[in-house]
Amino acid sequence: MELKDKEYWRSLEQLAGTDEFRHYLEREFPKGTVELAGNSWSRRSFLTTMGASLALAGLTSCRRPVEKIVPYVTRPEEIDPGVPNYYATTMPLGLSAYGVIVTTHEGRPTFIQGNPLHPSSKGAVSPIVQASLLDLYDPDRSRSVLHHGKETAWDDFVAWWKEQYDRYKQSGGEGLAVLSESFNSPTLSRLKRRFHETFPKAQWVAWEPVSDENIYKGIELATGRVLQPVYDFSRAQVILALDCDFLGTESEAIANTVGFTEARRVRSRSDAMNRLYVVEPSMTVTGMMADHRVAVDRGRVGSLLLALARVVTARGVPIEFARGVNRPNTELASDFVQVLSGDLGMHRGECLVVAGRAQPPAVHAMACAMNAALGNVGRAVTYHDIASLVLSSDTDLAALAANVEKNAVQTLIIAGGNPVFSAPRDMSLSTLLEAVNDTVHLSSHVDETSLSCSWHLPRAHYLESWGDAQSWNGANSVVQPVITPLMEGRGDVELYALLAGGEEVSAHDAVRETAQPLLGRAGFESKWRAGLHDGIMPGSGPAAVVPGLSMGELDLADADGLILSFDCSKHFDGRFANNGWLQELPDPVTKLAWGNAALISPKLAEEYDLENEDMVELDIDGRTLEIPAWISPGQADSSISVALGYGRAAAGRVGNGVGFNAYKLRTSDNMWFATGVKLRKLGPKYSLACTQDHGSMEGRPIVRENTLAGYKEKAEFYPREIEHPPPVSLWDEHKYDKGYQWGMAIDLNACTGCNACVVACQAENNIPIVGKEQVCNGREMHWMRIDRYYAGDIHDPRVLVQPMNCQHCEMAPCEQVCPVAATSHDPEGLNVMVYNRCIGTRYCSNNCPYKVRRFNFFNYMNELPELIKMAQNPEVTVRFRGVMEKCTYCIQRISLAKIKAKNEGRTVTDGEIRTACQAACPAQAIVFGNIGDANSRVSQLRQNDRRYRVLEELNTRPRTIYLAKLRNPNPALVKDTDAKAEGGHG
Amino acid sequence: MSVAETTEHAPGYESPLITGEQTFGSISRKIGEITERKTTMTWLLAFGAAGSLALVLLGSIGYLFYEGTGIWGLNVPVAWGWAIVNFVFWVGIGHAGTLISAVLFLFRQRWRTSINRFAESMTLFAVICALVFPGIHVGRVWLVYWIFPLPNQMGMWPNFRSPLLWDVFAVSIYFTCSLMFWYVGLIPDLATLRDRAVTKVRKFVLGLFSFGWRGGNRQWKNYELAYLILAGISTPLVLSVHSVVSTDFATSIIPGWHTTIFPPYFVAGAIFSGFAMVMTLAVISRKLLGLQDFITLNHLEKMNKIMLVTGMMVGYAYSCEFFIAWYSGSIYESFAFINRAFGPYAWAYWIMVTCNVLVPQVFWIKRWRRSIAVMFVASILINVGMWFERFVIVVSLARDFLPSSWDYYKPTFWDVSTLVGSFGLFFTLFLLFARFVPMIAMSEVKGVLPEADPHHGGKP
């Protein structure tokens, strides 16, 4: 054998120069990723490319890649390998903007937390915000520009557009149309204005399948102006939510939750608490928190509100519209309406009526009028003018469709969104698109719409692109990239600039250009930098306006028969369907992962002889959908709910074929609900992945609760604790009296069950996604889960939720049974899991009374695409097959803080360590700290008279304590059966 | 005169343990012949079938090692499934051997001589089958040796508080003692075979294995002392092994597992199932190999009586568990037992009760106690029931403290193939034994012939 010198490459650079290496890289990251040419080299692009290239260099070898770790030759400033950096940026979602702080490890974003300075996130996240991180590393994201399905380059598109640009400029944009998503971004709005200047005759339509259009229309109906309502739930003592999941799926749920729990927090027995009345068709996160809840289908909510308005008027708070309109359905929940009206009347100026986006404009107009009459405007609700807002409009979309049908559109640019999948079915958009000469689609994935368009442009993730966004109350913030685009994507700003100006513009420059007049020329650079650092631009936010009421004509039709409601899912409108974290996340109410179902009430199930997982056919005027049924207690009897955004055909490897596409039933007449649904039972069953099979506590004191009034009398909670003799240990117990002693307190009164902690835990701790089949087998890996129990009447249940993670028992049953001592206690009271030592007998899991341990039945991590591995937290071990794992109280964060404190010659201060779940929680339900320090927040909560330990009688001594849940029912509505909240059956 | 009639007990008169007017010579011939004659077609067919099943076990284990324990139906509340059920089941089966050889020996129950050899062999094979499971059921099989207290540079010892570790010690000691006991008993018989051997090779090999046994007086004296001592050592093991195995469950805190009655209840159950398995094998082998004179209906009837007794002990334990569940006042405990009888696994519970409590009741009737057909069917049903007993216990996990994590465990193809395969391994080993080793302890059986104890008038 003849050896050549060339075979021994001397350095990585030499290897990287070979065609072979480029070939490998392209196979993994076609184009884009390693495109070194181009604009200036930013710190991040350098890091990213270095990171990716070096990681990929390993692929040239099929053995263990020894050349993976190469030290920096010249270390970039600000980077200490192993020490994460944090950058502020903004996640735009529809009209919302969520300020976030992104943790990056050596240039890779690995974790997202809320920006405390930002009004829409207030330091917390929602599941979608947290999970958006994974989308960055989605290997199914589109990797290049496609023209008629063939790979091509951005340059080709730019050249093509320049031709069109010149042509349309001549004609003033005749035949040119843009279909964009709705946005609230000063730069995009500026570019849109410029587009209209260039092409005065062009049509620009903004449309989203899930939008707040009804809210704006309703407010316009009531006030004559399009205004943004901004709610401050912390200022409302009595809240009426009308089909409004303001803690879950509505816009601004994070800020709403922060405010809501602030007014609900009970620190001692003398504290007051807000009262939540909920009227809704199906159980939601908000409904689970309700003090009083009435299940009413979507079509009758308006009647109930009207009836309420009449009673309120009759009680001396005149509400203008109450007399004129329509017939109120006074039969509906008349007790509830009577009592509620009294409560609202008593809390004038400190109550709030909110309606959900699925309610028609008339209901929003009425809610607006109610708030005005009750004196809440300027307090719990304020209205803001937002100039840069580009609203979604169903009518505009219909007009566009009509134009296309008339052949009046030659070039259609679809800037984001997936209308072929989500547009109302009566428009049949996919066939319409064929009639357009040139269609351009900007999208992160080659999705359903891309497949019908002649051009597909890859869209950059928000963590890769420059942009800006305004929050709901007008605060400006910048979308700052934390990594150069991994694929060949470009952001919206770049595309809009190209469309409006005909030439390529750096998004960074465009955003700065917008900021110039806002920040002023003097000291711009320092203000700009401060804004980037803080994640929010200084001195922004328009003042609230107090609109006058000028009620327009209200159109309120009462619906009859069986009603189908469409709900916004955890994938929003379906755009996050390829996100494994979200797919595997159990629904907060039904606990269904990996799919949707037709939710029906137990009564309807009985009527139609349906069981869970029975396939049914839903028929609306000949449009049919086959979908499995799922019985959800708390569902209105006349209502069937289906979540939108499932059943994607071109979402990617994760989202394809998961669930059933409810858009098939959605038409422009019934965007949010449809009457006259025909339900028919089909033969077969369809397996759904539910993470909680049993919804009753069986009378066990697991989640304990009382009413506020009952608690004020006596600190007693139900179900009562189990009487037991004083627990005796077989051996001398460890004292745990020195040094740090970690503990956690979870306030069940604050927890809404929103799931933010579950996703945050998954992101922080490299928890694998196991897929539908494994979830069906009961093998989901979430370290933090949220248990949901029903209590009371099954037709009108109370719902209790409880975050459950490792309780870190001082007398841990798991530790005693492990034959190899792979799980043991550390001196700080942590129940630690030594992965290296674990041989996987699973005995610990069997003996865990809380069943919080999770086992790697397969090598789940091995199947992960390389790209997704970049999302992993380098501080946390990736677990191999055959190893048990569980919550560690984020031991990596504890260690980091301890090391930092030691270096600085001090002890860790209270609140310095925040576990991932705690950091995510908008309700601030989770407190972590040193229980050895009597002044720490967690120690004080351990003194609270609502504290209890789950399964205390087993003498496991959990370090996690819970604070019992309280409800604040109106005494006038308390039924005898509710008098003592004997949690239990259902 | 039929065999049944000649072995009938008459009051005040003990019938001979061996029938057919056997002599020392006829015993050596009849039993020795089985290992000496040409391999029969029946044996080959049986061996082929059993061997194929053993290969199924091998294949299942191979796939298990390749993919991980996820190929089984395990999930998070039920993290132990059929592997542990099978382990406890086989360990239980392995109890009859020691009981018959050691305990009955110490109690001078001379009728044991006809069945002790293959009861002991069965014990060994059952324990081998049992030992397969703890080894393969762990997540990282390549590190399973960490459960042994091997000295290492980290000073890392196993956790001596863990019942799984106790299991390792208990079962391995049991296996070692049983093996020694079995082999010591085999030495005189191997020597007999050596003396009967016609080929040189056979003579040499058997000569090696019989350790130069000549049958001298001094050798017999030492032999019997050794046998007695080993019996003494083995006797406490009968109680300890399954008691220790039961602590896997009893020391946990899971309702349905955390039960102090488990040690005696497991031991009774183990003897019960062990005798049933001996019965199944005895009925088949005495028929196929023509050993009706050695394993008489008397022997079988005695075993049936033991099954009746232990079956009722097990039945008592079942009812006692329910009483304690109620009497304890623990809501978790009460729920666990109501759930056993009426919950999602009620079908398994009632199979268990039927097979283990009701079926042995047929042995109250003498005619059925002495009916081969009845005892054969009953012995198989009892082992089905005993397998379900362990299953019912293990799946108590499905519904423990927090209802939120309740789930249902369903076995997969691989669970089934592993269980079926373990039977294959068991029968393969048993067939090899039946072919190459004397199935009945010739030297001991000779000891219960009248000739071994000559008296005036011919009566002992």
Using pLDDT thresholds of 50, 70 and 90, give the confidence band for residue A246: very high
Who among B68, B163, B165 is closest to A882 (CB)? B68
Q: Tell me what pLDDT residue A546 has.
A: 78
pLDDT > 50? residue A977: no
Taking an 8 Å cut-off on Cβ atoms, the answer to whether A816 and B143 are in contact is no
Amino acid at A569: S
Handedness of CA A153, A158, A161, A167 (dihedral sign): negative
pLDDT > 60? residue B164: yes
Tens of pLDDT, residues B224-238: 999 999 989 888 888
Residues B124, B129, B131: CA angle, nearest 5 degrees: 90
Q: Tell me what pLDDT residue A670 has.
A: 87
pLDDT > 70? residue A31: no
Terminal CA-CA length for chain B = 24
Q: Tell me what pLDDT residue A100 has.
A: 94
Residue B425's nearest CA partner among B10, B103, B107, B131 is B131
Residue B178's nearest CA partner among B221, B237, B220 is B237
Chain A contacts of B147, Cβ < 8 Å? Answer: 819-820, 839
Taking an 8 Å cut-off on Cβ atoms, the answer to whether A882 and B403 are in contact is no
Who among B139, B168, B403 is closest to A881 (CB)? B139
Taking an 8 Å cut-off on Cβ atoms, the answer to whether B403 and A774 are in contact is no
B:152-171 residues touching chain A, CB 8 A cutoff:
156-159, 161-165, 168
**Which DSSP string do the residues of B229-245 spell out, in sequence order?**
HHHHHHHHHHHHHHHHH
Probe site for chain A from B144, B404, B414, B415 (most A CB atoms < 10 A): B404
Question: CA A722 → CA A702, A952, B176, distances in Å?
Answer: 10, 8, 47
**Chain-centroid distance, C-alpha A279:** 23
A-B C-beta contacts closer than 8 Å: 168
How many Å lie between the alpha carbon of A885 and the closest alpha carbon of chain B?
A: 12
Residues in chain B: 460
How many Å lie between the alpha carbon of B79 and the closest alpha carbon of chain A?
A: 6
Question: CA B263 → CA A864, B242, B258, B451, distances in Å?
Answer: 46, 7, 11, 43
How many Å lie between the alpha carbon of A943 and the closest alpha carbon of chain B?
A: 25
**Which DSSP string do the residues of A12-42 spell out, in sequence order?**
HHHHHTSHHHHHHHHHHS-SSTT---SS---
Q: Give the span between the Cα atoms of B347 and B341, in whole angstroms.
A: 8
The average pLDDT across A410-433 equals 89
Query: What chain A residue is nearest to B136 in terms of C-alpha separation?
Result: A841
B:395-454 residues touching chain A, CB 8 A cutoff:
397, 400-408
pLDDT > 90? residue A42: no
Q: Which CATH class is domain A563-690?
A: mainly beta
Q: Give the span between the Cα atoms of A390 and A399, in whole angstroms.
A: 17
Percent of chain A with pLDDT over 70: 89
Tens of pLDDT, residues A278-329: 999 999 999 999 999 999 988 888 888 888 888 888 888 887 776 555 555 5
Taking an 8 Å cut-off on Cβ atoms, the answer to whether B402 and A702 are in contact is yes
Chain B contacts of A838, Cβ < 8 Å? Answer: 139-140
Q: Tell me what pLDDT residue A20 has.
A: 56
pLDDT > 60? residue A37: no
A705-726+742-978: CATH topology: Alpha-Beta Plaits (3.30.70)
Helical pair B116-136 and B163-196, crossing angle rounded to 10 deg: 140
Residue B158's nearest CA partner among A839, A27, A242, A306 is A839
How many Å lie between the alpha carbon of A679 and the closest alpha carbon of chain B?
A: 30
Claim: this prediction has a pTM higher than 0.90: no
How many Å lie between the alpha carbon of A263 and the closest alpha carbon of chain B?
A: 29
pLDDT > 50? residue B103: yes
Q: Tell me what pLDDT residue A983 has.
A: 41
Percent of chain A with pLDDT over 90: 60
Q: How do the domains of chain A map onto residue ranges?
A: 5-68, 145-211+389-462+478-522, 228-384, 563-690, 705-726+742-978
Q: Tell me what pLDDT residue A426 has.
A: 87
Structure tokens at A265: 């927090």
B:74-113 residues touching chain A, CB 8 A cutoff:
74-80
Mean pLDDT of chain A: 86
Who among A849, A855, A857 is closest to B253 (CB)? A849
Question: CA A873 → CA A486, A761, A870, A897, distances in Å?
Answer: 18, 11, 8, 17
Taking an 8 Å cut-off on Cβ atoms, the answer to whether A692 and B77 are in contact is no
Place of tokens 């307090």: A379
Mean pLDDT of chain B: 88
Question: CA B46 → CA B31, B55, B59, B434, B438, distances in Å?
Answer: 20, 14, 20, 12, 18
Tens of pLDDT, residues B355-379: 999 999 999 999 999 999 999 999 9
Query: What chain B residue is nearest to A770 in terms of C-alpha separation?
Result: B70
Query: What chain B residue is nearest to A955 in terms of C-alpha separation?
Result: B253
Q: Tell me what pLDDT residue A80 has.
A: 80
Chain A contacts of B144, Cβ < 8 Å? Answer: 839
- Beta strands A455-458; A145-147: pairing state: antiparallel
Tens of pLDDT, residues A858-916: 998 887 888 888 889 999 999 999 999 999 999 999 999 999 999 999 999 999 999 99
Taking an 8 Å cut-off on Cβ atoms, the answer to whether B79 and A846 are in contact is yes
B332 touches A at CB < 8 Å: yes
3-class SS shares of chain A: helix, strand, coil, % to 5: 30, 20, 50
Residue A180's nearest CA partner among A196, A172, A192, A190 is A192
For residue A524, what is the enclosing H or E element?
A: helix A524-534
Query: What chain B residue is nearest to A956 in terms of C-alpha separation?
Result: B253
Probe site for chain A from B405, B408, B409 (most A CB atoms < 10 A): B405
CATH code: domain A145-211+389-462+478-522 is 3.40.50.740
Task: Name the more confident of A986 and A846.
Answer: A846
Q: Give the span between the Cα atoms of A891 and A876, in whole angstroms.
A: 9
pLDDT > 50? residue A938: yes
Query: What chain A residue is nearest to B411 in terms of C-alpha separation?
Result: A777
Q: Give the span between the Cα atoms of A906 and A480, in whole angstroms.
A: 35
Tens of pLDDT, residues A939-948: 999 999 999 9
Taking an 8 Å cut-off on Cβ atoms, the answer to whether A779 and B75 are in contact is yes
Sheet with A381-384: list strands edge to edge. Answer: A228-231, A381-384, A544-545
How many Å lie between the alpha carbon of B373 and the closest alpha carbon of chain A?
A: 42
Query: What chain B residue is nearest to A788 in terms of C-alpha separation?
Result: B404
Query: What chain A residue is nearest to B163 in terms of C-alpha separation?
Result: A817
Chain B contacts of A774, Cβ < 8 Å? Answer: 70
Taking an 8 Å cut-off on Cβ atoms, the answer to whether B405 and A851 are in contact is yes
Q: Give the span between the Cα atoms of B175 and A529, in whole angstroms.
A: 75
Query: Which residues face A832 on adjacent strands?
Result: A824
B69 touches A at CB < 8 Å: yes
Terminal CA-CA length for chain A = 77
The CATH architecture one would assign to domain A228-384 is 3-Layer(aba) Sandwich (3.40)
- Tally of CB atoms within 10 A around A865: 13
Q: Tell me what pLDDT residue A8 has.
A: 43
Q: Tell me what pLDDT residue A324 has.
A: 57
Do you find a cis peptide bond into A65, omega within 30 degrees of 0?
no
Using pLDDT thresholds of 50, 70 and 90, give the confidence band for residue B450: confident
Q: Tell me what pLDDT residue A553 has.
A: 64
Q: Give the span between the Cα atoms of B378 and B382, in whole angstroms.
A: 6
Who among B79, B332, B405 is closest to A842 (CB)? B79
Taking an 8 Å cut-off on Cβ atoms, the answer to whether B252 and A880 are in contact is no
Using pLDDT thresholds of 50, 70 and 90, give the confidence band for residue A984: very low
- Cα dihedral B382, B385, B391, B394 in deg (nearest 10): -80
Taking an 8 Å cut-off on Cβ atoms, the answer to whether A840 and B139 are in contact is yes
Helices (H), A172-252: 186-198, 213-223
Chain B contacts of A787, Cβ < 8 Å? Answer: 402, 404-405
Tens of pLDDT, residues A461-520: 999 999 999 888 888 889 999 998 888 899 999 999 999 988 889 999 999 998 888 888
Handedness of CA A137, A140, A143, A146 (dihedral sign): negative
Q: Tell me which long-range contacts A150-153 makes (C-beta under 8 A, separation of at least 24).
A: A151/A30, A151/A31, A153/A31
Who among B68, B146, B403 is closest to A881 (CB)? B68
Prediction ipTM score: 0.92
How many Å lie between the alpha carbon of A601 and the closest alpha carbon of chain B?
A: 21
